[in-house]
Amino acid sequence: MSVAAVAADRSVCAPLPVLGRDVRVPLVTGGEVDYAALDYAASAPALQRVWDDVAAYAPYYGSVHRGAGYLSQLSTDLFENSRRTIADFLGCRADDQVVFTRSTTDSLNLLAAALPQDTRVFVFETEHHASLLPWEQRADVAVTYLNAPRTPRQAVDTLEKALAEREPYGPALVCVTGASNVTGELWPVRELAAAAHAHGARIVLDAAQLVPHHPVDLAELDADWVAFSGHKLYAPFGAGVLAGRADWLQAAAPYLAGGGASRKVSRRTDGGVDIEWHTTAARHEAGSPNVIGAYAIASACQALTEAGFPELIAREQELIDRVRAGLAEVPEVQVLSLFGADAARVGVLSFVVEGWNSSHFAAALSAEYGIGVRDGLFCAHPLVRTLLGSDPQDLGECGAPEAAPGERSLNAIRVSFGAGTPDEHVDRFLRAVKELVTDGARWNYRTEDGRCVPDRA
């Protein structure tokens, strides 16, 4: 079905079918409803295509690399072909490496471990914790945290100034998100890469929120590395990718020591061992690889490519416009933004509701409407605190998070969607927001283990 046909008929499904689209969930008020998964920024549901591909391969599952049996050879080919598919999807250059990891967090920790000694890392306070924190694990690496910019131009200017003033002048790395996991806003990656390279620095792109929504081309963006997770890209949990320049990765000690990473191990006469490590991606892929996870990511890459990013982007933009317009009709709703209302974004929006704690509001959306969203600080605490400032939220309200002495309790609601989101889910969400603000919750809620939950007593 074409995007135009989808737009014409609001009852139809999304362009790419996902698992769970027919799951029914109970409502506290009685009855059941199709579950509306609007938490894609945390984990997107797996594409049906991905699940079918994995299921078709499952009977042929075997050990990867060096196995003599047919299934082992088949699995090895599948694993390495998946690497090539992902490299093509990311626009990797001829000498780039694609390393399979567990997640975006794992990928960026791997890169942090591979940094040359005395590298200086520059990272905006707006980053997800996955790209904000790994650099702190290196005692011989200095980290400069940059204040949240309020325009894309300010982001570039802030970075250029910080790089120009760095002392001493040595290896440097810039880490930046492609799309915010809080606001969904797109960052000026190409301009930031140009600024980094002009000052002798390298740049790694956290594409966890970008790659499911927009094409990411390493060569076009002139980024040195890109990191992302399969579970954001409509693949099941457990696999991620770090792709990009090989030199720092080859020069670093293996991320994990063990079989697969080593090419040759021999005893020395003094009783120790000599180790020759691989210089390919295998250097950082010790242990039995997650062949199913790698294949699932490759399958998702193929599905998105075949569906066509221009069509998917156009359809998602329509949903973004509808969500923003619907929320704008509710004066009590404040949408969070760094770059302003006109900023380009993916299908991720965060907001607060006057008179509501965000945990309470999210609980009511789930229990009374069957809608799954996210509430909290989204593993981006500095950014959300910057966006919320000192806006008060009642400490005693259901689900209000604990605050440090002298601080107010802060949290927000995030709605996120993508290629598997039916129009009905967005329509139901907007209707629910308006009804909750106008009429209030129809059920009583209480705090349990720090969460707001329906009171079923």
113, 251 Cβ separation under 8 angstroms: no
- 252-270 burial string, b = 16+ CB within 10 Å, else e? bebbeeeebbbeeeeeeee
CA–CA dist 365, 242 (Å, integer): 36
CA distance 363 to 372: 9
**CA-CA distance, 9 to 13, in Å (whole number)?**
9
Cα–Cα distance measured from residue 371 to residue 373, given in angstroms and rounded to the nearest whole number: 6
Secondary structure element (H or E) that encloses residue 4, with its range: helix 3-8
169, 200 contact by CB (below 8 A): yes
Q: How far apart are CA 361 and CA 385, in angstroms?
A: 19
C-alpha to C-alpha distance for 322 and 319, rounded to whole angstroms? 5
User: Active site residue: 92, 379, 398, 452, which one?
Assistant: 379
- In one-letter notation, the amino acid at residue 154 is Q
Residue reference for tokens 């020069």: 251
Angle between helix 291-307 and 309-328 (nearest 10): 80
What's the distance, CA 168 to chain centroid? 33
- R_g of the chain, CA atoms, integer Å: 23
293's CB contacts (< 8 A; 6+ apart) are 100, 230, 235, 236, 238, 239
Q: What is the DSSP letter of 398?
A: T
**Do 236 and 244 contact (CB within 8 A), yes or no?**
no
Closest CA to 136 of 114, 158, 116, 121: 121
Say whether 452 is catalytic.
no
How many other CB atoms are found less than 10 A from the CB of residue 220? 11
Inter-helix orientation angle 70-89/291-307, to 10° = 40
Asked whether the beta carbons of 315 and 18 are under 8 A apart, the reply is no
DSSP secondary structure string, 56-79? Answer: HHGGG----SS--SHHHHHHHHHH
Number of Cβ within a 10 Å radius of residue 69:
10
Among 205, 189, 227, 203, which residue's Cα sits nearest to residue 344?
189
Catalytic residues: 379
